[in-house]
Amino acid sequence: MWRSLRPIGRSDASGGYRRYAWTGADAECRLWFQAQAEARGLDYEVDRNGNQWAWLGDPARGDAVVTGSHLDSVPDGGAFDGPLGVVSSFAALDELRARRVSFTRPLAIVNFGDEEGARFGLACVGSRLTAGQLTVEAAHKLRDGDGVSLPQAMEAAGYDPYGIGPDPERLARIGAFVELHVEQGRALDLTGDPVGIASAIWPHGRWRFDFRGEANHAGTTRLVDRRDPMLTYAETVLAARREAELAGAVATFGKIAVEPNGVNAIPSLVRGWLDSRAADQPTLDTVVTGIEKAAREYADRHGIDLDVVRESFTPVVEFEDALRDELGTILGARSERPLPVLGTGAGHDAGILSGSIPTAMLFVRNPTGVSHSPAEFAAEDDCVAGVLALADVLEGLACS
Ligand code: GLV
Ligand code: MN
Ligand code: MN
Ligand code: MN
């Protein structure tokens, strides 16, 4: 199963994945998911927002137990971020069938669309739409770097962009959602555990900083005559590092667009995207306000115009105590010591859904902590431990 997914959307040059929403690689991933569902005799469906579902049992019975994750990637992403949760879900179902358990609740495996937001700039588009946390109007305004709108991209991929929207009936049929994922940095490596349980997701957001100056000749323009937005941008990147360090938070400028983008021209525009996250909301506010304040001071000093736009924001998520405790009890009974319970700075579809339905997450150890990179890794034994833990949880929740 893993082998057939591995080549899809992988760049020969970097070894990383480029599985962006509604592209050819995404379509191939979707076909892969459908084939896995059909091979297991599951009822396959695509919801109004393009999320894929594979059902065992009748969803109309309600109180379903759902597991899954996403198959899309960041630019040059790793093999595990997302796919590990989907592959583990199918593998856990295979394990439960081998255990010959009988299911008392409907079970579904889901692949949420566009979790990383690599193409349209907003993460978790599929789950946000379903949970009503992204309006149809706002979704229709999303555009990728080439100016292609979300509706155009969906239509090109053969989906109806005018049917998207909240799906409360679907959510009402779900009693629990459990997502398995690898993104928790080195937390599990430090505790020495292959598997852990999520407690919370840090609040996080994305801000676009537009620094506008004046394009001019790199050879003939005296330094004192320049209005160079790159300088202001560079100073802002340093301020972001400083503010994050002071607050014990994280702040990253990982994407930049420059105009005119010529090696011998002072830029007219530098557009940088800030991703910042912190353990709590007041800390995040302090960090972002501090970065913006510093950016405005530098901008004033260099004659630069600055616009700052918050492009997306996800508040703190505290996973439901009752479901988390249930996972702890199920898994604690089968291991020598209680599983670690950890928070993470990474966003997830589970975080979005936690506002609507009982939601929990399992994490699998990432020994280097590297993710959003081709070097992302999880050891085979740990992946197997994750599958068995997920199978135990699903058995505990959905089987007699
Ligand atoms: C997704 O992985 C994110 O938190 O950026
Ligand atoms: Mn990710
Ligand atoms: Mn992910
Ligand atoms: Mn993610």
Q: Is the pLDDT of residue 130 over 90?
A: yes
pLDDT in tens, 283-336: 999 999 999 999 999 999 999 999 999 999 999 999 999 999 999 999 998 888
What pLDDT shows up at residue 30?
A: 98
**Phi, psi at 377, each rounded to 5°:** -150, 145
The closest ligand to the CA of 78 turns out to be 2
Report residue 191 as tokens. 């505790």
Pocket test for ligand 1, best of 17, 276, 371, 372 (most atoms within 8 A of CB): 372
What pLDDT shows up at residue 335?
A: 83
The closest ligand to the CA of 71 turns out to be 3
User: Which class for 387: exposed (0-12), middle (13-18), buried (19 or more C-beta within 10 A)?
Assistant: buried
CA of 297 to the centre of ligand 4 (A): 33
Could you give the CA distance from residue 139 to residue 129 in angstroms, rounded to a whole number?
A: 8
What pLDDT shows up at residue 311?
A: 94
Q: Is the pLDDT of residue 348 over 90?
A: yes
What pLDDT shows up at residue 336?
A: 84
70 marked ligand binding residue: yes
What domains, with CATH codes, occur in the chain?
2-202+316-398 (3.40.630.10), 204-314 (3.30.70.360)
Could you give the CA distance from residue 32 to residue 329 in angstroms, rounded to a whole number?
A: 34
Q: Is the pLDDT of residue 123 over 90?
A: yes
Q: Is the pLDDT of residue 400 over 80?
A: no
Strand 265-266 and strand 216-217: pairing?
antiparallel
pLDDT in tens, 316-330: 999 999 999 999 999
Q: Is the pLDDT of residue 32 over 90?
A: yes
Q: Is the pLDDT of residue 106 over 80?
A: yes
CA of 298 to the centre of ligand 2 (A): 32
How far CA 55 is from CA of 86, 279, 396, in Å, comes to 14, 36, 18
Evaluate whether 174 touches 182 at the Cβ level (below 8 Å): no
ipTM: 0.92
Mean pLDDT of the chain: 97
Could you give the CA distance from residue 338 to residue 378 in angstroms, rounded to a whole number?
A: 21
Q: How many CB atoms lie within 10 A of CB 261?
A: 11
Question: What percent of the chain has a predicted confidence (pLDDT) above 70?
Answer: 100
pLDDT in tens, 250-266: 999 999 999 999 999 99
What pLDDT shows up at residue 368?
A: 96
CA of 74 to the centre of ligand 3 (A): 9
pTM above 0.90, yes or no: yes
Strand 64-70 and strand 107-112: pairing?
parallel
What pLDDT shows up at residue 299?
A: 98
Cα dihedral 78, 183, 393, 108 sign: negative
Q: What Rg, from alpha-carbon coordinates, does the chain have?
A: 22
The closest ligand to the CA of 86 turns out to be 3
Quick one: average pLDDT of 369-396? 97
Pocket test for ligand 1, best of 122, 183, 363, 371 (most atoms within 8 A of CB): 183
206 marked ligand binding residue: yes
Q: How many CB atoms lie within 10 A of CB 136?
A: 17
CA of 115 to the centre of ligand 3 (A): 7
Could you give the CA distance from residue 99 to residue 94 in angstroms, rounded to a whole number?
A: 9
Quick one: average pLDDT of 5-21? 97
What pLDDT shows up at residue 334?
A: 84
CA of 352 to the centre of ligand 2 (A): 14
CA of 316 to the centre of ligand 4 (A): 14
What pLDDT shows up at residue 85?
A: 98
| 3-state SS class at 349 | helix
Atom of ligand 1 nearest to the CA of 204: 4
Atom of ligand 1 nearest to the CA of 275: 5
| 3-state SS class at 335 | coil
Report residue 339 as tokens. 């599983």
Atom of ligand 1 nearest to the CA of 345: 4
Atom of ligand 1 nearest to the CA of 372: 2
Evaluate whether 216 touches 307 at the Cβ level (below 8 Å): no
pLDDT in tens, 59-85: 999 999 999 999 999 999 999 999 999
**């991929």: which residue's tokens?**
157
Q: How many CB atoms lie within 10 A of CB 218?
A: 12
264 marked ligand binding residue: yes
What pLDDT shows up at residue 116?
A: 97
Pocket around ligand 1 at a 6 A CB cut-off: 116, 123, 183, 346-347
181 marked ligand binding residue: yes
Could you give the CA distance from residue 203 to residue 107 in angstroms, rounded to a whole number?
A: 30
Evaluate whether 114 touches 30 at the Cβ level (below 8 Å): no
Quick one: average pLDDT of 220-247? 98
Q: Is the pLDDT of residue 244 over 80?
A: yes
pLDDT in tens, 138-173: 999 999 999 999 999 999 999 999 999 999 999 999
